[in-house]
Amino acid sequence: MLSPMVKRTVRLRFTILYAVLFLVSGAALLVLTYLLAGGQSSSTSPAPSQPGGPVATQQVIAGLQAELADLQTHQSRQLLTGSLMALAVMVVVSIVLGKLVAGRVLRPLRMITAATRRISADNLHERLAVPGPADEVKHLADTIDSLLERLEASFAAQRRFVANASHELRTPLATMRASLDVAVAKPEPAAQVVALADRCRTELDQVDRLLEGFLVLARAQHGVLPDDARVSLRDLVSEAVAARAADIARLDVDEDLHAAFAQGSRTLLARMVENVVDNAIVHGSGWIRVATASAGGWSELVVETGGAVLDQEHVDRLARPFQRLVADRTGSERGTGLGLSIVAAIIDAHGGRLRLHARPEGGLRVTISLPVAAA
């Protein structure tokens, strides 16, 4: 019985199968050889004694026949022992050869597995393109390539729809905003008209932010970087905090900023930092701590906020679009439900990691890790 520590792979099963088949066939051949040898030994009968022959001669003949029988028995035992030893050696050899043969047979499958693991949503254009004859392995690779082609078309259609819809909706929004401005610009507009215009502007601004979020999300998910440069996370955090000085004045801000550089789009990285800071300002309570550092090949941005104790299971879903923690957040005038999902998409586009942790004392800690940019 195999130990639990032994990994039960297909290669191991093939090796065991080859060894067992060889052992069974070898044992059957050994039994057949022994039976045939025993049959030939038993078929040798002593010569009939000549009536009236000398007694001494008959005794010599009987002794020779006995010695011959003992010799045949000894040879049969030697044949059996040698065959068993040869069978044991060949079992070991068959295991080694079976492992080598199984590895060679499964090599195309390992290549397919490795290539499939390298393909993600960002490089669906790649194909396995396995060469060779039209066998089962080739058919499997072609099937996976066909599946990747359909997935690529589906992802591309989804991203085009989001981008095109966001662009097309900006025109009627601009028209509606211009109509409101014209209505309010009339001499002595009614108070109800002014109030309605202000409310409509607020809603239009919210829709505009939502469309802008869709555009950024689609661009980040598609891996389209508008620019590529060595970006300082410390500078981005300082700019974002300074631009929100009025909103952040009600909170106690603790900044621990050290040099941290990332390679990528300054536009998208700035949006990432702004979304994280905005999320802390809108949903935090009492204080905010922002820190940047660089260690172990990663540039990190950590944003912590105070607040109520949160459920980690709910926190883990915040990186999905339109996910919020509690009901009162759904009515936020500034939130669109896309903030952290945009952050997650930008981080993925830059090869980083996003970790969301519910603080035991209450509040949320957001940790962003990006590969350090070369100097």
In angstroms, how far is CA 43 from the centroid of its own chain? Answer: 70
191/303 same-domain check:
no
Lowest-pLDDT range of 7-16, 169-178, 234-243, 275-284:
7-16
111/140 same-domain check:
no
Single pTM value for the model: 0.54
365/240 same-domain check:
yes
In this prediction, residue 223 has a pLDDT band, given cuts at 50, 70 and 90, of low
In a domain, 129, yes or no: no
210/266 same-domain check:
no
In a domain, 312, yes or no: yes
Name residues whose C-beta falls within 8 Å of residue 138's C-beta, 6 or more positions apart in sequence.
130, 132
Last residue of a domain, one of 191, 221, 251: 221
Q: Secondary structure of 298-309 in the HEC alphabet?
A: EEEEEEEECCCC
303/192 same-domain check:
no
Q: 18-22, 193-197, 289-293 — which one is most confidently predicted on average? A: 289-293
Last residue of a domain, one of 194, 221, 248: 221
113/23 same-domain check:
yes
248/361 same-domain check:
yes
CATH number of domain containing 325:
3.30.565.10
In a domain, 185, yes or no: yes
333 HSE (CA, 13 A, CB side): 7
Could you tell me the two tokens for 133?
């004859």
CATH number of domain containing 152:
1.10.287.130
User: In this model, does residue 280 exceed pLDDT 60?
Assistant: yes
240/351 same-domain check:
yes
Name residues whose C-beta falls within 8 Å of residue 211's C-beta, 6 or more positions apart in sequence.
166, 169, 170, 173
What confidence score (pLDDT) does residue 158 get? 74
| Average pLDDT of the residues in 236-265 | 90
Last residue of a domain, one of 158, 186, 221: 221
| Average pLDDT of the residues in 204-227 | 71
Q: What percent of the chain has pLDDT over 90?
A: 15
| Average pLDDT of the residues in 3-20 | 68
In a domain, 240, yes or no: yes
264/340 same-domain check:
yes
Cα 264 to Cα 186: distance, rounded to the nearest angstrom: 48
| Average pLDDT of the residues in 17-45 | 69
| Average pLDDT of the residues in 38-58 | 57
What confidence score (pLDDT) does residue 237 get? 94
In a domain, 131, yes or no: no
Q: What is the pLDDT of residues 285-301, one digit of tens each?
A: 889 999 999 988 999 99
Cα 22 to Cα 31: distance, rounded to the nearest angstrom: 14
Cα 333 to Cα 204: distance, rounded to the nearest angstrom: 11
What confidence score (pLDDT) does residue 328 get? 42
| Average pLDDT of the residues in 148-175 | 79
Size of the chain in residues: 375
The total domain count for the chain is: 3
326/282 same-domain check:
yes
* Packing angle of the helix pair 55-118, 136-185 (nearest 10 deg): 20
Q: What percent of the chain has pLDDT over 70?
A: 83
Q: What is the pLDDT of residues 87-130, one digit of tens each?
A: 778 778 888 887 888 888 778 788 888 888 877 666 777 777 77
In a domain, 5, yes or no: no
Structural domain harbouring 19: 10-44+61-118
Q: What's the N-to-C CA distance of the chain in angstroms?
A: 56
In this prediction, residue 327 has a pLDDT band, given cuts at 50, 70 and 90, of very low
In a domain, 2, yes or no: no
Could you tell me the two tokens for 61?
């003949």
Q: Are strands 298-305 and 287-295 parallel, antiparallel or unpaired?
A: antiparallel
In a domain, 157, yes or no: yes
| Average pLDDT of the residues in 152-176 | 78
194/317 same-domain check:
no
Burial 355-370 (b: 16+ CB within 10 A, else e): ebebeeeebbebebbb
User: In this model, does residue 374 exceed pLDDT 70?
Assistant: yes
273/246 same-domain check:
yes
